Amino acid sequence: MNVQKWDSFWLGVVIGLFLPALFCLAYAHTIGLQHLWQEGMYEALKPVIGRMLLLGTFANMALMFLLYELNVWRLAKGVLVAIIPYMAAGIILLG
């Protein structure tokens, strides 16, 4: 399988920004957080959202490990850079 043609930093950033968001949405649906957007629920669930964001970064880390094993370095670097906003948001929401 030729993955070298997909070796782009910006493609990695885009994938890295969407993957944790999809993971968090799927996880929120699984544990039943549909009432998150009701009035006043955001403040009560801030720690849960922060933990979910930090958990979503594990999907990026697993993808980054897979990309390093496939020697797709630029794509892996883009995924690594995309982890930073999720880590910062998760830490801010936990604090």
State the burial class of residue 17 (Cβ atoms within 10 Å of its Cβ: 0-12, 13-18, 19+). Answer: middle
Give the domain ranges of the chain.
4-94
What are 56's two structure tokens? 């979503």
* Res 45 pLDDT > 80: no
Name the pTM for this structure.
0.80
Give the mean model confidence (pLDDT) for residues 49-59.
88
What is the average pLDDT score of the chain?
85
Q: What percent of the chain has pLDDT over 70?
A: 86
**What is the model's pLDDT at position 47?**
84
Query: What's the average model confidence in pLDDT over 57-83?
Result: 91
Q: What percent of the chain has pLDDT over 90?
A: 43
Closest CA to 79 of 25, 8, 26: 8
Read off the pLDDT of residues 21-36 as tens digits, 9 standing for 90 and up: 898 888 877 776 666 6
3-state secondary structure of 8: coil
